[in-house]
Amino acid sequence: MARVSYVEKEQAEPLIKEMFQKMEDQKLPILNLFKVMGHCPHIGRNFIRLGNAILKNDELSPKLRELAILRVGSLAGSVYEFTKHVPIGKWAGLSQEQVESISNWTASDKFDDQERAVLAYTDEVASDVKVKDETFNKLKTFLDEKGIVKLTAAIGYYGMVSRILVALQVDLEPGEQLPIFLR
């Protein structure tokens, strides 16, 4: 059970109410994460905007972005984040075997050199903040500067998202289940 209430559209301040209405108009779900962020309207609005900008398919392939997001969720122990991004990652081209191997990627043969470079970079940014020159130089062989900045922003943003989700114990949406390999 979540540690804070979920702000429903009817209770929300005008800024959040308008944002929730736009989501409904676009047939998008108002996730429990967004309802939690509704407690802080200005932060909540910009939080959602930044997330949408990171999910935009430019500068970095969706597959690599989702690989990093799933790894961040795994490192942070954010079942919510991981569960939400499994279908997005699979849509972006990750295999079921890759998704299931993310928590132990260094011992897996399911990732190519580019994916391994992204995972190593993700681990260092998410866990240590400081990145070794060797790790960064390997990543540079696969991504240009725009891609590296977008990847770094995604790792940082989803690290923040995971911390909010875990600290506040945000629940999965009603009826949603954990992927079988997380049960």
**Domain that includes residue 159, residue range:** 62-167
Say yes or no to pLDDT of 128 above 70.
yes
Token match 């991504």: residue?
143
48 and 69 belong to one structural domain? no
The answer for 159, left when phi > 0, alpha when psi is -120 to 50, beta otherwise, is: alpha
Element (H, E) at 148: helix 145-167
From 56, 82, 100, give the residue that closes a domain: 56
Other Cβ atoms within 10 Å of 6 Cβ, number: 17
pLDDT band at 78 (very low <50, low <70, confident <90, very high): very high
Say yes or no to pLDDT of 182 above 80.
no
Tokens of 148: 């590296």
Q: Is residue 141 part of a domain?
A: yes
3 and 70 belong to one structural domain? no
**DSSP string for residues in 62-93:** HHHHHHHHHHHHHHHT-HHHHHHHHHHHHHHT
pLDDT band at 13 (very low <50, low <70, confident <90, very high): very high
- 50-84: b (≥16 Cβ within 10 Å) or e: ebeebeeeebbbbbbbbbbbbbbbbbbebbbbbbb
74 and 156 belong to one structural domain? yes
17 and 69 belong to one structural domain? no
47 and 103 belong to one structural domain? no
pTM, two decimal places: 0.94
Other Cβ atoms within 10 Å of 3 Cβ, number: 9
Q: How many folded domains does the chain comprise?
A: 2
Q: Is residue 42 part of a domain?
A: yes
At 106-117, the pLDDT tens digits run 999 999 999 999
47 and 66 belong to one structural domain? no
Token match 């047939």: residue?
27
109 and 149 belong to one structural domain? yes
pLDDT band at 57 (very low <50, low <70, confident <90, very high): confident
pLDDT band at 153 (very low <50, low <70, confident <90, very high): very high
45 and 74 belong to one structural domain? no
Alpha helices (H) in 102-144, listed in sequence order: 113-123, 133-140
